[in-house]
Structures are given as C-alpha cells and as structure tokens.
Structure 1
C-alpha cells in the first residue's frame, strides 16, 4: 500500500487556494468559519506549526553527531513560536507575509534534509511543488487585503 503523505500534502494546499480565490472574489467571510482572512491565517499557522513539528520528529531518529540533530529542534521551535507570536502581534497583512517567510524557510530546511539524505527525493519533490502553490496563494491573498 502506498503511503498517503503525498496526497495529504497536496490536499493540505487546497484551503490556501480556496481562501485566496474567495479573497480575490471579494468574499469577506466564510459561513460558519468566519472572516476569510482569519480562516486563512489560522489555517496557515496550524499547517506551518505541523510542518515544524515534523522537523522536530525527524531529529529524534538522528545520531547525536549529526548536525541536523541539533539544528532541527532549534529551527522547528523558532519557526513555530515565531509564527505564533506573529499571529498574536502583527496585522493580518504582516502575518501573511510572515507565513510566506515561514513556508519558504521550512522548504529551505527540507532542501538541506534532502541533501543530507534524511528525507527522500519523492517527498521533497512534492513538498517543493506544494510550497510553491501555498506561497503563490498567500501572495494572491495578501494583495487582496
């Protein structure tokens, strides 16, 4: 049985695209969920924190002398906590730009993990394309605020 991670990774980009589309169409709120920009911000915070948590999990299986065994837990905490603080303190526009920076940073880390053979080529390829979709959707959204 094939792992569901590539499909779930791609599916995870769908709410970003939908929110960007709704914001472009001038839809200020999603029934039951709330303001579109708030839904996008919260979803982005959850997904970026989840991805940072995956980096934390990756470090657990590494030997102590692997440089990534130190870098991953530090980077994952800085990214997750930085995004949380940004959500609490920044305007929506500022936070969405911070999310863009966060997703690009997570991809840069994944590139390093790919180069170090810690994550596989197929996973990195999916992550790369999905990050491009997410960053594009966030850029579309932020230009419509």
Structure 2
C-alpha cells in the first residue's frame, strides 16, 4: 500500500469514532459526550503536532504554523476544562476549522503534497458534520 493510500485510509478511519459516539446505545449515555470531546482533543492535538513537524523539515520554516500549532494545542486542552458542553464542543469545532486554515496556507505556499489539502478539506467537513450533530443533540437535550 502506498503512503498516500495509507494516509487516506487512516485519516478517514479516524473520523469513525466521532460518528460511533453519536449513536445512542454505542456507549453509556453518561460518558458519550466526554468520550466525543476527549477523542476530538486527541485528534486536534495530533493535527496541531503535524503542523509543527511539517515545518521543522524546512531550513527557514514559516512562523505561522509553528505558533498556530501551539496555540491550537493549548486551545484544545482548554476545551477539556470548560464546564459548558456547548462552549467546549463549539471551541473544538473552531479549532478544527483553524487547523484547516493553517493547512490551507501551507498548501498555498507549496509546502505540502498536492493531494493532501484536498483530503484535509474532505475530512474536516466530515468531522465538522459530526460536531454539528453533537451540538444539535446537546441543544435538544437541554430543551427537554
């Protein structure tokens, strides 16, 4: 299997837990949201770390990805400390969008393989949809 195919397979497989955790009965209801939020934090932190690693291979690395990777990783950690579930999940959704924007800039500078950003757009859309569903679930639970 090529590195590209492996990367794509692992990337899209990584979205499955977001959707599995939305299924009632898949996991105990009292920990389902916590599992979703912590999984999101792990994935967002991993993605922030890839920005750091990507730029370190350059002789004169761009500053934005290095700084953004740290800010977004710290924001991800902060999302786990926020008592409001809706605010925490909204923050993580914004973090994933922020990660995509940094990747877009890296791609625009020609620092990434041509297929990678197209994949990042698709996976970010898939993850964002899961987050929107989670937000809808939270709002409906609160209105009961």
Q: TM-score, length-normalised on structure 2?
A: 0.87
Secondary structure of the 2:65 match is helix
- The count of residues paired between Structure 1 and Structure 2 equals 136
1:2 aligns with 2:2: yes
Match of 2:88 in 1: 95
Match of 1:44 in 2: 40
Cα distance in 2 between the residues matched to 1:128 and 1:136 = 12
**Structure 1 contact 19–141 (Cα < 8 Å) conserved:** no
Q: TM-score, length-normalised on structure 1?
A: 0.87
Match of 1:142 in 2: 135
1:12 to 1, 14, 37: 14
Structure 2, unaligned runs of 5 or more:
139-144
Cα distance in 2 between the residues matched to 1:118 and 1:34 = 43
**Structure 2 contact 18–127 (Cα < 8 Å) conserved:** yes
Cα distance in 2 between the residues matched to 1:127 and 1:16 = 16
Q: CA RMSD in A?
A: 1.7
**Structure 1 contact 107–128 (Cα < 8 Å) conserved:** yes
Secondary structure of the 1:30 match is coil
1:62 aligns with 2:55: no
Q: Bigger relative contact order, structure 1 or 2, given CA contacts below 8 A and separation 6+?
A: 1
